[in-house]
Amino acid sequence: MEGHLKTDIVIIGAGLTGLVTAHYLLKSGFSVKIVEKNSRPGGVIQTIREEGFTIESGPNTGVISHPEIVELFEDLKEDCKIDIANPEAKKRLIWKDGEWQALPSGFLTAVKTPLFSLGDKFRILGEPFRKKGTNPNESIADLVVRRMGKSYLDYAIDPFISGIYAGDPSKLVTRFALPKLYNLEQTYGSFIRGGIKKHSEPKDERTKKATKEVFSAKGGLQYLIDALVKSIGNENILLNCKDVTVTNDNQIFNTSFLMGSIPVGLTSEKVISTVGGKDIDSIFPFLAQEHLKPITQLEYAKIVQVALGYRQWKGIDINAFGGLIPSKEKRKILGVLFPSSFFAARAPEGGALLSVFLGGMKHSEFYSLNDEEIQSLVEEEVGEMLKIKGIKADVLKIFRYLYAIPQYTATSEQRFEAINFVQKNYPGLILAGNIRDGIGMGDRIKQGRAIAEEMINK
């Protein structure tokens, strides 16, 4: 493949964003080449099958937060089926004072729960009547304490943020990290009043597809990746591409790289980058450093994921989505998911599959532990909290993510401005991926579809 090839669009990165974008562009007749540094497409998404267990690395689930998610599965229905989590296992558990408590799902359970203080339970009654905030960079922590009280922060929002961002709610800015929550207050003046009004608003058939249910792909998320690869065509996905560099010559982009020892060049009018902030400056040397600084200095949470498979489950009842650990409880893990409880065929009959997470912004030091130390730490924590002390897992897998989740802190506004500046001054160049537009799988699918439609409709 040595030499220069011409194509309409080059996409850098074969993660979910890049694959979804390519899928829709190719359907509309564009020629597309994806350039990927790794030996396989899909980014961190990978499904491993071992001894009857179906283990996910990277994201274990997504939320149907946008209709684009359902529409993608509809598009790929011959090769991939959406898998909706078992509603009987939707309960979320929160660790408090040495035991698990169910996160309230309604008014009655919120009144009875020991998670929140009596004062905050009364305080929540006044939430619809409080003034809305005026600080656009208010942190999630400050917003929640102001509207709902400290115990709601400690035992609902803090563990929730650990589960989504592995982050610190005192540093994440609400309008960037949780824009829907921010808009509820700004638009309706209240979370409760806004939630009620949003629920009662008429929805068209497309909007109804965004059911907020938890999803995966039947058999594992690898089926989604494989279906996208089949749609795109292996010939359009270039793997093991090293030293990727893009130059700009009169609004024509030249992307050069090595495939093994073979130099390859691609000429295109458009380039879409889906890489992390840390790689932008090396790939695009023509972009001024002062413009890139807010992007390249984006902070990422370091995360370790440990999958534990048990052929026979002898611990507590885990008919739930999972359990989250508030920072206040001073445990060594962020939380644990129970994939075998909410998706079928993830573990042998009578067995269980757990997915344990540790590290994050508050405990980045755990990332540097060796495998033996991580295994010992997780076995001790899970053994005590799930009542399986001394019982070894039949399957144990450790996954490390140095740049796992970008943190949407107060610097996000400067980052978005920098991205807009670059795209305005270099027509045809798009900076995408999780550096903007959210961090979830649903966000990546929505963004990929939106970028493709923008190009198709130009």
**pLDDT tens-digit map of 187-229:** 999 999 998 998 888 889 999 999 999 999 999 999 999 999 9
Q: Where in the chain is the domain with CATH 3.50.50.60?
A: 3-43+63-80+218-298+408-456
Q: Is the pLDDT of residue 1 over 60?
A: no
Who has greater pLDDT, 167 or 291?
167
Give the pLDDT mean for 61-83. Answer: 97
pLDDT-derived band at 282, boundaries 50, 70, 90: very high
Q: Is the pLDDT of residue 445 over 60?
A: yes
List the single range of 2-6, 328-332, 362-366, 421-425 with lowest mean pLDDT. 2-6
The reported pLDDT for the residue numbered 145 is: 97
Q: Is the pLDDT of residue 245 over 80?
A: yes
β-bridge mates for residue 92, sequence order: 322
The reported pLDDT for the residue numbered 74 is: 98
Q: Where in the chain is the domain with CATH 1.10.3110.10?
A: 116-209
Q: Cα–Cα distance between 298 and 296 in angstroms, integer?
A: 6
The reported pLDDT for the residue numbered 3 is: 63
pLDDT (tens digit per residue) in 353-396: 999 999 999 999 999 999 999 999 999 999 999 999 999 999 99
**Residues in CB range of 356: below 8 A, 6 or more apart:** 305, 306, 307, 308, 333, 335, 336, 378, 381, 382
Give the pLDDT mean for 7-25. Answer: 98
Q: Cα–Cα distance between 311 and 314 in angstroms, integer?
A: 10
Cα distance between the two ends of the chain = 31
> Read out DSSP for 222-270?
HHHHHHHHHHH-GGGEE-SEEEEEEEEETTEEEEEEEETTEEEEEEESE
Chain centroid to Cα 381, Å, comes to: 25
pLDDT-derived band at 4, boundaries 50, 70, 90: confident
pLDDT (tens digit per residue) in 79-120: 999 999 999 999 999 999 999 999 998 777 888 999 999 999
Give the pLDDT mean for 431-451. Answer: 97
Q: Where in the chain is the domain with CATH 3.90.660.20?
A: 300-406
Cβ count near 274 (within 10 Å): 28
pLDDT (tens digit per residue) in 386-422: 999 999 999 999 999 999 999 999 999 999 999 999 9
Which backbone phi and psi does 220 adopt, to 5 degrees?
Answer: 120, 155
According to DSSP, the β-strands at 352-359 and 335-337 are antiparallel
The H or E element spanning position 359 is strand 352-359
Average pLDDT taken over every residue of the chain: 95
Q: What single-letter amino acid sits at 437?
A: D
Q: Cα–Cα distance between 143 and 225 in angstroms, integer?
A: 38
Q: Is the pLDDT of residue 2 over 80?
A: no
Tokens representing 34 are 């994806």
**Residues in CB range of 15: below 8 A, 6 or more apart:** 41, 42, 43, 44, 45, 274, 433, 444
Proportion of the chain above pLDDT 70, given as a percent: 99
**Residues in CB range of 294: below 8 A, 6 or more apart:** 411, 414, 415, 417, 418
Chain centroid to Cα 69, Å, comes to: 14
Distances (CA, A) of 409 to 59, 154, 173, 298, 312: 22, 19, 5, 9, 43
Assess contact for 395 and 49: CB atoms under 8 A: no
Architecture of the structural domain at 3-43+63-80+218-298+408-456:
3-Layer(bba) Sandwich (3.50)
> Read out DSSP for 423-438?
HHHSTTEEE-STTSS-
Task: Using alpha carbons, select from 59, 184, 87 the residue that is nearest to residue 445.
Answer: 59
Residue given tokens 């509309």 in the structure block: 28
Domain topology for 116-209: protoporphyrinogen ix oxidase, domain 3 (1.10.3110)
pLDDT (tens digit per residue) in 147-175: 999 999 999 999 999 999 999 999 999 99
Q: Cα–Cα distance between 438 and 171 in angstroms, integer?
A: 16
Give the pLDDT mean for 263-292. Answer: 95
For domain 300-406, which CATH number applies: 2.130.10.10, 3.40.190.10, 3.40.50.11540, 3.90.660.20?
Answer: 3.90.660.20
